[in-house]
Amino acid sequence: MKTKINIYISVALLLVIISASCSDDFLEEKQNYGEYDDTFYQSEERVNWYINNVYYDYFQGYTSPLSILVGAYTSDYSGMTEEIGGIRDLINPTLTLMDADDASGYYGTKLENKVKNEPYHRIRDCNSLLEEIDVKGANLDEEFRNQAKGQMYYFRAIQYFDLMRIYGGIPIVTTVQEASVTDEEIKLPRASVTEVVEQIVADLDMAASLLPEDWGPADYGRFTKGAALAQKARVLLTYASPLFNKNWESNERWQMALQAGLEAESQLTADGYGLYGSSAKDWDEMFSLDNTFCSEAVTVQLLGSGNTSSYLNNSWEQNIRLSSQDGGGGQEVPKEMIDLFPMADGSRPTAANGYDEFLFFLDRDPRFYRTFAFSGSKWGYKEDTESAVWAYRWVDDSDNTYYSDNNQVSSPVFVRKMTNTEVTNESGFEYSGTDIFEYRYAELLLNIAECYAAMGDMANCSAYLGKVRNRVGIPSENNYGIGTLTDKYDAIEACLYERRVELAYEGKRFWDVQRWMLYNDDASAGNNTCVKLGVTPLNGTQRTGHYLQYNEVATSDDPLAGIREDIVVDPDAGNFEEQLQSLATIYSDNFEFEELPTPMDNVNGEQAQIDWKQNYYIMGLNSGVLTQNPWLEQTIGWRDASGGEGTFDYRE
């Protein structure tokens, strides 16, 4: 019934991390890489220490929903989408990265007989247990052994999936290899993407066959059968997408992904999963369920609260809270995201549909008010449950600038999604324990909708999109505001749009942009998805920020101190619409948007536009990897360690 990634450190895992007094302590064993004696597998307790340590190695850095890539957990990729401003190297118009020295270092370093928390070392940990537990642990309960293996198959699959998403084809290692400079058998070539996907799917099928539908309370949080099937659907959706599928307009791979999605939906539904709640309020509150089963959480990162070394904290809460709340200062929302969310009836935010870019908070999708906060909106926490936030600035007659409540936010809107209004602001929210949803049931429904769309089944596509919108209270008229989907391209675009709204700031947007190659169209590379789907490429655009500024000259005193006292916009209030109108009057009478002195997207202070190069969709191997493994081909579009052109075609 419960599928969670167990990163909340249990007593057993705590022993792995901080105990050093026992002679048979597992941490001491792990320092002797690959040198466990035959008695190691005689104890379920010690095997669980091993498994828990793998969980920790995989997810110890996963403390923010914007962070992606198993083991690395960087938010840089989320910062290359519409969600966050700021120029990173891969979208920097002044850089052209093609040399092996510039390629991604995610692949890891040389495989040695010592512990490293890198992809192929994590894979080796999985392979080690899979090879040994049935031999050295033959006395252990068979169900226990099967569940242990199921978790390792799942781990190995998600690591290969992230390697595939970054590099395309990579060597497939399913046995424990000893580091050697003479053993020719370990010089494995880069497998094709198809071969990698086949291996991942096989691992997830094995995981699903071995994992339980539910775990008991003591093991709450481990992977389950339903999670393995859902992960398989995600993998096959990626494999069907244009990045890896030159024939993406045919149905073959989409049918495989659809079948996997429907199988996962059926299993998870039978196990008690589904969309959480039936309102936008429920949608908001589900993100605050802390170490508690949530029907929407297919996999979730469990975190702990408090200042202690025995568990990981949530860094997201502290980062996005405003300075006035003793937080990290807030996460500014680019104008492009503010203008993205639908209207209250589900229609697109256009002038024809009544959208006002200045009074952006009027008549919006219910999720808008749960994803964002803005001046005048309620955003409470434990010590001040009724807190209303304000973030504007004003100038005096000497051009001195002042900020309301010291909130120096370069956007009229800031992210509030996935915060817990019951968490304490002691120590500036630094020790929040709010969990992070890694895979939600809603994403699975959107995956299924996209498969139907790509196959030209607009009716079923609309039905699944409707489920997601219906849950948050968007009215059913005009197909929940989606309108009539005219063809499969229109339907695919509708699915990608819905993902941008429903999954905003959950670390999913970059993968959608990448797999659909939405940065650009490049006929020479067979990339024409933007024109096919009728979307504007991200290249040539920029993320835009504005100050919300008082429209008169003032003094050092807050000019709105008296006016704002009785204003709070609370989407749970019975008079919410009246509150919005009162706030609109304050905005119209007192505010204007002011351009930033330095653009949100800039290089050396000058405005810059996103410029992602075609060869970045799939990264090259870096020079260290190629030098240590000279038999590996470099990716086409990248130069090898000697400066030669890459020859590995990830689409073949």
Q: Sketch the domain layout of the chain as residue ranges.
A: 316-434+546-595
Asked if 370 and 280 count as a contact pair (C-beta separation under 8 A), the reply is: yes
DSSP β-bridge partners for residue 639: 645
Rounded to 5°, the CA angle 77-79-80 comes to 70
Asked if 83 and 505 count as a contact pair (C-beta separation under 8 A), the reply is: yes
Percent of the chain at pLDDT > 90 equals 85
Which residues have a Cβ under 8 Å from the Cβ of 503 and sit 6 or more positions away?
Answer: 440, 442, 443, 446, 509
Asked if 265 and 241 count as a contact pair (C-beta separation under 8 A), the reply is: no
Q: Other C-beta atoms within 10 Å of 270: how many?
A: 10
The pLDDT score that the predictor gives to residue 249 is 96
Q: Tell whether the model's pLDDT for residue 7 goes beyond 60.
A: no
Asked if 360 and 336 count as a contact pair (C-beta separation under 8 A), the reply is: no
DSSP β-bridge partners for residue 364: 343
Q: Tell whether the model's pLDDT for residue 403 goes beyond 70.
A: yes
The pLDDT score that the predictor gives to residue 38 is 66
pLDDT tens digits for range 543-570: 999 999 999 999 999 999 999 988 999 9
Question: And the tokens for 440?
Answer: 């939600």
Mean pLDDT for 154-179 is 95
- What are the start-end ranges of the E strands in 474-629? 546-550, 591-595, 602-603, 606-607
- Whole-angstrom Cα distance, residue 631 to residue 103? 17
Strands 436-440 and 602-603: unpaired
Q: Tell whether the model's pLDDT for residue 220 goes beyond 80.
A: no
- Whole-angstrom Cα distance, residue 170 to residue 164? 7
Which residues have a Cβ under 8 Å from the Cβ of 89 and sit 6 or more positions away?
Answer: 95, 97
The helix (H) or strand (E) run that includes residue 440 is strand 436-440
DSSP β-bridge partners for residue 104: 621
Q: Tell whether the model's pLDDT for residue 2 goes beyond 60.
A: no
Q: What is the DSSP annotation of 92-157?
A: -TT----SGGGSB-TT-S---SS---SHHHHHHHHHHHHHHHHHHTTTS-HHHHHHHHHHHHHHHH
Separation of CA 199 from chain center: 23
Q: In the predicted model, what is the mean pLDDT of the chain? A: 92
Q: Tell whether the model's pLDDT for residue 5 goes beyond 70.
A: no
Q: Other C-beta atoms within 10 Å of 429: how many?
A: 27
Mean pLDDT for 343-350 is 98
Mean pLDDT for 29-55 is 74
Mean pLDDT for 363-373 is 98
Q: Which residue has the higher pLDDT, 485 or 1?
A: 485
The pLDDT score that the predictor gives to residue 198 is 98
Mean pLDDT for 442-471 is 98
Q: Tell whether the model's pLDDT for residue 191 goes beyond 70.
A: yes
Neighbouring C-alpha atoms within 13 Å toward the C-beta of 575: 7
Asked if 416 and 569 count as a contact pair (C-beta separation under 8 A), the reply is: no
Q: Tell whether the model's pLDDT for residue 291 goes beyond 90.
A: no
Which residues have a Cβ under 8 Å from the Cβ of 224 and sit 6 or more positions away?
Answer: 2, 3, 211, 212, 213, 214, 215, 271
